[in-house]
Amino acid sequence: MRRQVVVTEFGKLKRSVVPWVTLAAMLLAPCGIALFMWIVQHPETAASLGLLGTKANLAGLEATWPAFSTYLALVAGGGGLGLLGFVLAWLFGREYADGTAKNMLALPVGRGWFVVGKLVVAAAWWAGLVIVIVAEGILLGAALDLPGRTPAALVQTAGSVFAAAALSFLAAPLAAWVTVATRSALGAVGFAFGTLLLGDLLSHTGWGEWTPWSIVLSGAADLTTVGWGSALVLVVTFTVGVAATVLQLEHADNP
């Protein structure tokens, strides 16, 4: 029965366009980075674009593979905070939107297993998206012929992007709890993007190393900034998010 819970959750993805929407959103990010890289590579041509070319040059952007790699990791880290919030909001919120929450919770299986099943689906979903943007990034880097694109650098990029993606996933389960607590996907989406903005704000303060969303953003830019204390904060955040979601389903007056 526990295995069937996970299988059922994966089956729900086949009947929805939401995974394809998230894929399209993720595919756009590397293309945007590549566009700015191309502008920096071809300033004469980019001059016809006016303000766009000026902004790219003023930003000090370098058209190199290390720079491209850093931005890819930021997509997996910062983008993951927002997109994973949306994914979890949909996975947990659709039961309330479709009116199937009562039927799901009445099944003869521990309610915690529904949380585990949905998180397994979210992890696989997120891993698939990250694999796609890494592959896309490598192809775009080859098309732009970015300097510094060695086999070792490509492997390092993949590692950095997956590490950033893992950091963002550790901070994500709180969005699941918000969804279950509010019985609405909109609340979780608002929470996800609100914490993304909060993380960006606090990352510029001394509280950044103790704020999970700031840790994700800083770690995506430079993994060496994530010390043991910050790693513990993320593990605790993940544990609290999962536990709160399970307890909400176990003890709250669900429909």
Indicate whether 125 pLDDT > 60: yes
Which pair of structure tokens corresponds to residue 103? 């039927």
Provide the residue ranges of all domains of the chain, joining segments of one domain with +: 2-251
Average of pLDDT values for 224-250?
92
Average of pLDDT values for 19-47?
86
Alpha carbons 27 and 119: distance in angstroms, whole number: 23
DSSP-derived letter for residue 223 is G
Gyration radius of the chain over CA positions: 20
Give Cβ neighbours of residue 42 (< 8 Å, ≥ 6 apart): none
What's the pLDDT at 220?
92
Indicate whether 198 pLDDT > 60: yes
Q: Bigger pLDDT: 204 or 87?
A: 87
Q: Bigger pLDDT: 100 or 254?
A: 100
Supply φ then ψ for residue 41, to 5 degrees.
Answer: -70, -30
Which pair of structure tokens corresponds to residue 19? 């995974």
The predicted-structure confidence for 239-255, as pLDDT tens digits, reads as follows 999 999 999 888 765 44
What's the pLDDT at 250?
81
What's the pLDDT at 115?
86
Q: Are 133 and 181 in contact (CB under 8 A)?
A: no
How confident is residue 182, by pLDDT bands cut at 50, 70 and 90? confident
Q: Bigger pLDDT: 47 or 217?
A: 217
What's the pLDDT at 107?
59
DSSP-derived letter for residue 34 is H
- Provide the 3-class DSSP secondary structure of residue 88: helix
The predicted-structure confidence for 126-179, as pLDDT tens digits, reads as follows 999 999 999 999 999 999 999 999 999 999 999 999 999 999 999 999 999 999
What's the pLDDT at 186?
86
How confident is residue 31, by pLDDT bands cut at 50, 70 and 90? very high
Query: Lowest-confidence range among 54-63, 87-96, 155-164, 177-186?
Result: 54-63
Share above pLDDT 90 across residues of the chain, in percent, rounded to a whole number: 53
> How far, rounded to the nearest angstrom, does the alpha carbon of residue 220 sit from its chain's CA centroid?
11
Residue-averaged pLDDT of the chain = 85
Q: pTM for this one?
A: 0.87
How confident is residue 117, by pLDDT bands cut at 50, 70 and 90? confident
Q: Are 171 and 81 in contact (CB under 8 A)?
A: yes
Q: Are 216 and 168 in contact (CB under 8 A)?
A: yes
Alpha carbons 15 and 119: distance in angstroms, whole number: 18
Q: Are 86 and 93 in contact (CB under 8 A)?
A: no
Indicate whether 219 pLDDT > 60: yes
What's the pLDDT at 44?
72
Query: Lowest-confidence range among 44-58, 118-132, 233-247?
Result: 44-58
**Helix residue ranges per DSSP H, 147-227:** 151-170, 173-182, 185-202, 212-221
